[in-house]
Amino acid sequence: MKKYIYILYVLVLMMASCAMGSKSETAKGEEAPIVRYEWGLPIDSFRIDTCVVKDGETLGGMLNRLGATRQQVAGITLMPRSEFDVRTIRPGKTYYALYQTDTTGIEQLCYYVYKSNIRETVVLHLTDSMHVERFEKPVTRQNRTAEVVIETSLWSAMISKDLPPELAIELSDIYAWTIDFFGLQKGDSIRVYYEEQYVDSIRIGIGRIYAANFYHARRWQEAFWFEEGKIHNYFDAEGNSLRKAFLKAPLNYKRISSKFTHARKHPIYKVYRPHTGVDYAAPAGTPVVSIGDGVVIMKQYKGGGGNTVKIKHNSTYTTAYLHLSKYAKGLTVGKHVKQGEVIGYVGSTGASTGPHLDFRVWKNGTPIDPLKMQSPPAEPIPAQYKDTFAIVVADYRDKLH
């Protein structure tokens, strides 16, 4: 009898469990559909028109065309620029109009959504409480190692491998003191360990380049980023700074049209005379920068040299920049200039047959060949950071290989 009662009890429990499971499944089946949100709005509740800003189109014109009321247009025009500067709207950009039907059956424009860029969206609320909201998608970061072999240029090599072209720009800055990027040869190569940045799955740029190894002129030149205390720079494996006292060249040039020589036939005067500088052929207006920190000691039109700037860098080195079309704004004699600061623009003033920069260097008052100048390095890794730096180098070398 007891056994019969126990079996009956178990059967009751099983039936109850099944009933509860069935009820749970029914409840689950009756759950409300998932609501999709975008820009903080339940977008399935709206009819959405996708549009593109046309040439010459204004925000007011767009809103009128989208069916906004006079009150809505007036409210937007009264908004301060700090909330939404309508001058930032650009042709070709995407925007969305969100509509909802009111209780009377009339469709109303509720929101204007402007996609500033891949990351930022501006939402104009056109309902009772008119205001602006901004939404930024998060940026994700991914470290990557890449290697390219140069056929024509570093830029082309990056593009051919579907690598960010910004890499070429950043690498040219890192190696500006040690590699002449206009002297790269076919077969040169570079390995680089760096950070790529994404919004959703779209690459938007790069972050820090952590390490690189450049093969040029039959040797590898390493670069490692190191940041500790007040130190934040690129160094070679021995802790010597890649940043030098002087840049390799004062401009981005097309070619070297004349080199340093003590006997060159002048193209205008037709006589042989020393040319103690290097002529860089470049388009008129190309920015010319100081190759190092220093003080402007000359800024004047000087005969055959035309518009000339002369800079004293220290007790040893002085440089001059000739045939400029014009000087940089605010440049005066006695002004301290920084390495890489624009001091003028390529021209053809003075005795010149075409746009170019005549660049000259003096060491202890004697003219020297700029292409053979050995630039002194900046300060190396301080002794107290050498052990930490060695660990960083070992880690980055592993990443590069």
Report, in angstroms and rounded to the nearest whole number, the Rg of the chain calculated over CA atoms.
33
DSSP state of 217: T
DSSP 8-state code for residue 171? H
pLDDT single digits (tens) 6-58: 444 444 445 445 445 544 444 455 566 788 888 889 989 999 999 999 998 88
The 3 state secondary structure assigned to 222-262 is EEEEEEECCEEEEECCCCCECCECCCCCCCCCCEEEECCEE
* Cα(400)–Cα(169) distance, integer angstroms: 19
Q: Is the pLDDT of residue 272 over 60?
A: no
Name the residue with tokens 């300060």.
379
Within a 10 A sphere around the Cβ of 284, how many other Cβ atoms?
Answer: 12
Are 286 and 309 in contact by the 8 Å Cβ rule? The answer is no
Q: What is the pLDDT of residues 293-337, one digit of tens each?
A: 899 999 999 988 899 999 998 878 899 999 999 999 999 999 999
pLDDT in the model for residue 104: 84
Q: Which amino acid is at 382?
A: P
pLDDT tens digits along 285-294: 999 999 998 9
The token pair at 346 is 């390529």
Sign of the CA dihedral 298, 299, 303, 305?
Answer: positive
3 state SS of 361 = strand
Residue of 134, 132, 123, 171 whose CA lies nearest to 150:
171
Structure tokens at 342: 């624009």
Length, in residues, of the chain = 401
Report the 10 Å Cβ neighbour count for 242: 21
Of 170, 215, 210, 212, nearest in space to 191 by CA: 212
Q: Give the pLDDT of residue 25.
A: 47
Portion of the chain with pLDDT greater than 90, in percent: 49
Q: What pLDDT score was predicted for residue 245?
A: 79
Domains in the chain, ordered, with CATH? 37-136 (3.10.450.350), 140-235 (3.10.450.350), 255-372 (2.70.70.10)
Helices marked H in 30-96: 59-66, 70-77
**Which two tokens mark 95?**
């925007």
pLDDT computed for residue 11 by the predictor: 47
